[in-house]
Amino acid sequence: MYGQTEASPRMSYLKWIKFSEKSESIGRLVSISDIVIGKYTTIVEESMSAGKKIIFYDNENYLSSLDFPLNKINVIERNIKGLENRINNIINGNYDPSNQIKNFVNKYFFNHPNNSGFNLIKETIKKTLIQ
């Protein structure tokens, strides 16, 4: 892990847990995690939708080169110093002070009273294509 030396006074770990090589193992690991840090993968997005604190680490600027909805909210770090600062903010209880991430998750991931998540995505795609 990057920054482990600097963060070691504030880090803890769990006893070794052996996960099988089955694909559902990552879901079990995420379910016991407080924070998920990763490159762009659906696991990080799924973790976000499940209410986990997440950070996309994008040191190659891949995400910023795309028209990616998550570029509009504060979940992407592009360098190690930013990642360290973000982790410190999370440790100090300052993950989403403006509710920007929470609002994004509510808009794109949760079911709405009159619409399922699938229909919401479908309607968003239709609106985008019609423009």
pLDDT in tens, 29-78: 888 888 999 998 888 888 888 889 999 999 999 988 888 888 889 899 99
**Are the CB atoms for 109 and 46 separated by under 8 Å?**
no
**Which among 97, 95, 98 is positioned nearest to 86, based on CA atoms?**
95
End-to-end CA distance of the chain: 43
Domain boundaries, the chain: 4-130
Can you tell me whether residue 120 is helix, strand or coil? Answer: helix
Angle at 126 between CA 122 and CA 127, to 5 degrees: 120
Question: Does residue 23 have a pLDDT over 70?
Answer: no
| pLDDT for the residue 15 | 59
**Are the CB atoms for 50 and 72 separated by under 8 Å?**
no
Per the model's pLDDT, the better-predicted residue between 31 and 120 turns out to be: 31
